[in-house]
Structure 1
Amino acid sequence: MTTTIAWLAPVCALIGICVAGGLGKWVLSQDPGPDKMNSISLKIQQGAKAFLMSEYKLLIIFMVVVGIVMAVALSPITALAFVTGGVLSAAAGYVGMHVATRANTRTAFAAEESVAKALTVSFRSGLTMGLCVASFALMGLSLWLIALVFTMAVGVDLNTELMNLMHDNIGMVEGFATGASAVALFARVGGGIYTKAADVGADLVGKVEAGIPEDDPRNPATIADNVGDNVGDVAGMGADLFESYTGSILAPTILAVTFGAYGYFATNDFIWAIVTPVVIAACGIITSIIGLFAVRTQEGADLHKALNRGTYLAAGIEIVVIFVIFFIWNSSTSTAQPIYLFGSVICGLVAGLAIGKITEYFCSDHNKPVHKIAEAAETGAATVIIEGLGTGMMSTIAPIVLVAAAIIGAFFFGNMAFPEAAAAGAENGIAVGLFGVGLAATGMLSNTAITIGVDAYGPVADNAGGIAEMSGLPEEVRDRTDALDAVGNTTAAIAKGFAIASAGLSAISLFVSYQATMHHVLPNFELSLTDPLIVAGIFLGAMMPFMFAALTMGAVSRAAHAMVEEVRRQFREIKGIMEYEAEPEYDKCVAISTSSALKEMMTPGILAVVVPILIGCFNPAMLGGFLAGAVATGMLLAIFMSNAGGAWDNAKKYIEQGNHGGKGSEAHKAAVVGDTVGDPFKDTSGPSMNILINLMTIVSLTFSPLFITIQMML
């Protein structure tokens, strides 16, 4: 029965794909508005598609090379799983961006009628993306698990030999997560460089130097900026959550198979343990669809509450469903008490929701931290930057405490669920309770579809505002799209908080799997702080996120410099731009963002794959220290950079609402400078950190057979 339940995952994934298709069709059936709005939207569509196609060409080369290495060093099936994960991640991003780049003008036209209709169009566009990401990921991952792991348990008495075979096969499935993570990193970094180069150039020259409004059609970087919203904040964000979602499902599954190979689980519990994560994820797709119907509002109502209503409804139903799953498992076993694992999942869910609220507090323009940054703008850009940096640093405290508490709580419940296995594992240095930590990550991202929907609607609303500005729509239309966009900035920060926290929990679970896998074959394998190689690895790992941040921030700086010079050139050389008598050369700015992003994204992405493999080949224990250091600093940097950037952005928007002098004031100019510093923080370097730590961990786990082979040859 339990293996049959595994088929619930691809069935629910198929339902999600069908609903996504229906939502996308509904969005595209809405009125796109007059020709002027459509022509602007068409330029955004063409720019976004051209960039993604160019990016995917480079990714194909990368994936072919890595796939060949995997086929030779590991197995052809691992290589095929790697390619599958990458292709599905790219496909989900492309479909979501295809709808988003057409929903922008429809949202702008809907905003002429009401903010409620504009929210409906933009949110349904975002949920199309969310359902595609969750459904594509679950479909691919569950079919690989069914093919290589679950089918072995059908009508067979499990024994140690068979469990070891399943452990080897789950290693092949790890290739799927590696492919998803690799594409996510390139998509996040490439899209982030693209969008922030355009955004910084448009703001510094347009707003600060020329004194023209945001998204003014006279600004040559405007189209590139709007394209960037889609390739960075839609396609890139979708790939990011695809990777986190895949990792959160696979982490506890890998732990279950690893502990099964050690003989710590009874047969029935073993099967339930590897089925439960995909079943939880499957139910999350259905609850996200239900949450869709709760997202509605009226003119003048709180938009954030409307979006939260859908998220909380989905989470509430998901909690009930998860309890039922563990209750059924508990009723079918006599050797353990898996009902306690419900406590592990609740630890993850509560931590995720709490981190979301903390992120909202630090990033929302309704709260004190953003108001303090806006107030600091009255004394110049330097104080804006100082206050924003302090806000970002302070915002790391509560999330890290919550993650630590979630780890301890989930571990405690994991041990309570399997007391005999926990005792046996402790004798061998294997922490069985960490299975509960893996499930906490699954619970945290179980409603990924609606989480992405709430996030991805923001870039659509932002684009709608740009189209409204460039099309000359009435001021109240821009006010409505700005209201949607301001909430979108906060919801985007909340989604990043979920991704970062789940990445930490998943990375810890995968790290334990790496340690247990190595120890299973190499009994002398040990991670000890008295080993100088491991200590050196910790420092090298702690350095890696900083090096990655430096590379990506530098990439944005160089691309933005070229963008600023091009915008200045056009203002200087093309007569009549400021008088609306000549059209800027938008394509030149689009070309700069495209070429810069494609050139600059390769080095950070390749290093994230190559460095762990090189260290693992040299010394697998040193790699363990490396991963520990990377996870710790990577999480802190991710939270700090994402929240600081979100706070700077909303401080600028708070001033634009008429506070501290409003638009065009000296305080506004200072806040724009702070926002441009925060742009690569929150949209390039920060959100890439959680992908970085997950990618390096899953690469290490995937290539562990190679490391073992090398060690046995020495």
Structure 2
Amino acid sequence: MEHIPQVFWLIPIASVCALGMAWYFFKSMIKAEEGTPRMREIAEYVRRGAMAYLKQQYKVVLIVFIILAAVFAIMAYGFNAQNAWVPFAFLTGGFFSGLAGFFGMKTATYASARTANAARKGLNDGLKIAFRSGAVMGLVVVGLGLLDIALWFIVLTWFYSDKMTASEMLITITTTMLTFGMGASTQALFARVGGGIYTKAADVGADLVGKVEANIPEDDPRNPATIADNVGDNVGDVAGMGADLYESYCGSILSTAALGATAFAASAGDMQLRAVIAPMLIAAVGVFLSLFGIFLVRTKEGATMKDLLHALGLGTNTAALLIAAASFVILYLLGLENWLGVSFSVIAGLTAGVVIGQATEYYTSQSYRPTKDISEASQTGAATVIIKGIGTGMISTCIPVLSISAAIMLSYLCANGFDMSMSAVSIQHGLYGIGISAVGMLSTLGITLATDAYGPIADNAGGNAEMSELGEEVRHRTDALDALGNTTAATGKGFAIGSAALTALALLASYIEEIKIAMARVGEQMTNVAGETIDATKATIPDFMNFFQVNLMNPKVLVGAFIGAMAAFLFCGLTMGAVGRAAGKMVAEVRRQFREIRGILEGTGTPDYGRCVEISTQSAQHEMIIPSLLAIIIPVVVGIVLGVAGVLGLLVGGLAAGFTLAVFMSNAGGAWDNAKKHVEEGNFGGKGSDCHKATVVGDTVGDPFKDTSGPSLNILIKLMSMVSIVMAGLTVACL
């Protein structure tokens, strides 16, 4: 293993530490008391429903994976249109992505009752259990991600070390590793879409019939859809989010490594190797700093919402500041060319992540004016709540879009020494900067994902407290934790979408490299910008842009961009429609039970919770297939019909429309949810008032916005990029 430097071994060590600490937090949580027999009974209902759903989902996904792996194997071994390692890389990516979601959800279903029980003692006790249980998800994601990357790098280095030059080997290894991102993206999309449909079908049904029609509180045990709602929080917001960010995390590291292998291929010494392992090392150091941040999170009894936000902000912001400083040290010690400029590229990504998080908090927290204004609009009915929420969501896109735009420009220019010449070397170094800025944004994922996974744990804790009738004081504490979770979940979604935008942009450049390898595999030649006929392996990015006529006057590029933008809206329409149909079935079932089962509303009858869980499960399994498969089919068809120029247009159009639409939907949904919470705190008439019912309707509209369609879009834009990369050989064969 002489091709692997000593410092590389920090990466598997960091992954083992992350997984070890995840295990420690899990065991610490399990030792806590689960509470009264009623609390344990409710928690068991939720656990059983969540695991039953996940088992069904994995059966469907397994069939899809077997079919796709067989297609890749035929392409690789039958037509030489694919790297022979791709079928295996695809399967491992999907396996680890699913495993991350499974471990996170298992932890969450055990943590909710323990969080509610801890809240009986005090707010800090509840926060500590919920947050450290959420940290299990964050640490499992980064631990499994780095482990997968390290293992593949070691295996492929061993396999290729005596078959080609060191430079060729690194380019081959990084582009091969990049393809396991398609497996992770495919698994993540099924998890996100399926989980989102499941949870929102139950949530909408529970709210519309329970709160609005029957006038009973949220999570009331008399509501038949309550257990399904709590199950859905876990399968959508924990398992789905874990699989999603696992893919973003690995995708950003691997796309940057692939760009580094190309950008520094002509550099002297082992500079190319240093550029390849730099993003991996930044991520590895980020694991240790995330752990430090996790231990900083605590609060005082009687804390306000701003106090709770400050407690979480202390941990996440401290970790972000430390990784910013550490990046300079890592890149300096590596001796990377223009290490100072590349370090500032990392800072650009980190800063954009922090700005997006703060902007999301401002537009979705009930502590600030935009959400309070939505609550105030409830005085004139549900229609004005919806209008105000849509307007707020649209306005909220400005800061994230401008932040990402600034991060793209700054990271590009810092990495290439502010060279605006658009030469081949300048472009490649600039693109490497964009990739490493995405790594910077995700480097502290261990703690940022903890703040996101904390949300559904706190939500379930509130449900358990309500159903177990723990008393007003305990419910007040769990409500505070839950409201904080709504804001952190919205912040986490904004963070995930921002990182997806930077990662997808880096994947655009990786797509060109994969096209280059596919053309070299079939012996294709091309004309460079000077009009000379050259081998594809010697072509630069400007050569490819010229050869494939990738410019705004080429109708193939424009048509691809329109299709990409349309794909984002089509995907949202399909998933929103799926939630609507599933919720309609749930509403009918809850009404039927209220009508036919005697004594439910009086508290003397027992609802049929299992039937509602069954409806959500069946609806999610059926409805998730078409939207998920479309994300795979569209890039393949565009590649065959419109070629490389059309695919690049598709990816740009999908990225621009998908990113903006995802921010809008996630923020609007989060604002509606917290506007309802603001009213429930006693403002504008409080619970049961007309204003409360109006905000419940707004929250119901926002549910699929923020938990199904919105967060699924960031997977869509990455999956289309990954599919394009994996199918590059087929696109070249159709030229």
Q: Distance in 2 between matches of 1:106 and 1:536?
A: 53
Q: Distance in 1 between matches of 2:158 and 2:394?
A: 45
Give 5+ residue unaligned stretches, structure 2.
76-81, 520-524, 527-546
Alignment check: 8 A CA contact 1:258 1:513 kept: no
Amino acid of the structure 2 residue aligned with 1:257: A
Please say if 1:327 is aligned against 2:314. Answer: no
Q: 1:633 aligned to 646, 657, 670, which one?
A: 657
Give runs of aligned pairs for residues 385-464 of structure 1, distance below 5 A: 385-416=386-417, 426-427=423-424, 430-464=427-461
Q: Distance in 2 between matches of 1:358 and 1:345?
A: 20
The equivalent of 1:360 in structure 2 is 361
Q: Distance in 2 between matches of 1:436 and 1:171?
A: 18
Amino acid of the structure 2 residue aligned with 1:207: K
Partner SS state of residue 596, structure 1: helix
The equivalent of 2:119 in structure 1 is 111
Paired residues in the alignment total 697
Q: Distance in 1 between matches of 2:482 and 2:616?
A: 23
Give 5+ residue unaligned stretches, structure 1.
none
Are residues 709 and 6 of structure 1, via their aligned partners in 2, closer, same or farther at CA, if it must alter by over 3 Å?
Answer: farther
Are residues 163 and 244 of structure 1, via their aligned partners in 2, closer, same or farther at CA, if it must alter by over 3 Å?
Answer: same
Are residues 684 and 649 of structure 1, via their aligned partners in 2, closer, same or farther at CA, if it must alter by over 3 Å?
Answer: same
Alignment check: 8 A CA contact 1:518 1:525 kept: no
Alignment check: 8 A CA contact 2:416 2:426 kept: no
The equivalent of 2:141 in structure 1 is 133
Alignment check: 8 A CA contact 1:258 1:517 kept: no
Deviations 1:320-344 (A, max 9, x none): 22111111133xx6xx322210110
Give runs of aligned pairs for residues 675-690 of structure 1, distance below 5 A: 675-690=699-714
Please say if 1:560 is aligned against 2:560. Answer: no
Are residues 431 and 243 of structure 1, via their aligned partners in 2, closer, same or farther at CA, if it must alter by over 3 Å?
Answer: same
Deviation at 1:485, TM superposition (A): 0.6
Q: Distance in 1 between matches of 2:148 and 2:196?
A: 26
Are residues 319 and 539 of structure 1, via their aligned partners in 2, closer, same or farther at CA, if it must alter by over 3 Å?
Answer: same
Partner SS state of residue 416, structure 1: coil
Amino acid of the structure 2 residue aligned with 1:467: N
Alignment check: 8 A CA contact 1:2 1:272 kept: no
Alignment check: 8 A CA contact 1:500 1:638 kept: yes
Amino acid of the structure 1 residue aligned with 2:663: I
Runs of 4+ in 1 over 6 A off after TM superposition: none
Q: 1:42 aligned to 16, 27, 44, which one?
A: 44
The equivalent of 2:258 in structure 1 is 254
Amino acid of the structure 1 residue aligned with 2:180: F
Deviations 1:197-233 (A, max 9, x none): 0000000000000000000000000000000010011
The equivalent of 1:542 in structure 2 is 565
Partner SS state of residue 7, structure 1: helix
Amino acid of the structure 2 residue aligned with 1:637: L
Deviation at 1:75, TM superposition (A): 3.9
Q: Distance in 1 between matches of 2:706 and 2:159?
A: 43
State the identity as a percent.
50
Q: Distance in 1 between matches of 2:461 and 2:551?
A: 55
Deviation at 1:243, TM superposition (A): 1.2
Alignment check: 8 A CA contact 1:148 1:170 kept: no
Q: Distance in 2 between matches of 1:442 and 1:519?
A: 25
Amino acid of the structure 1 residue aligned with 2:224: P
Deviations 1:492-513 (A, max 9, x none): 1111111111111111111022
Q: Distance in 2 between matches of 1:56 and 1:559?
A: 20
Q: 2:108 aligned to 69, 92, 100, which one?
A: 100
The equivalent of 1:53 in structure 2 is 55
Alignment check: 8 A CA contact 1:3 1:150 kept: no
Partner SS state of residue 460, structure 1: helix
Partner SS state of residue 557, structure 2: helix
Amino acid of the structure 1 residue aligned with 2:21: V
The equivalent of 1:671 in structure 2 is 695
Q: Distance in 2 between matches of 1:50 and 1:444?
A: 35
The equivalent of 1:124 in structure 2 is 132
Q: Distance in 1 between matches of 2:427 and 2:359?
A: 34
Give runs of aligned pairs for residues 225-624 of structure 1, distance below 5 A: 225-260=229-264, 263-301=265-303, 302-330=307-335, 336-416=337-417, 426-427=423-424, 430-518=427-515, 521=519, 523=526, 524-618=547-641, 619-624=643-648
The equivalent of 1:222 in structure 2 is 226
Amino acid of the structure 2 residue aligned with 1:107: T
Alignment check: 8 A CA contact 1:44 1:226 kept: yes
Alignment check: 8 A CA contact 2:179 2:725 kept: no
Are residues 507 and 63 of structure 1, via their aligned partners in 2, closer, same or farther at CA, if it must alter by over 3 Å?
Answer: same
Deviation at 1:624, TM superposition (A): 0.9
The equivalent of 2:535 in structure 1 is none
Alignment check: 8 A CA contact 1:5 1:275 kept: no
Amino acid of the structure 2 residue aligned with 1:611: I
Q: Distance in 1 between matches of 2:416 and 2:726?
A: 27
Alpha-carbon RMSD: 1.8
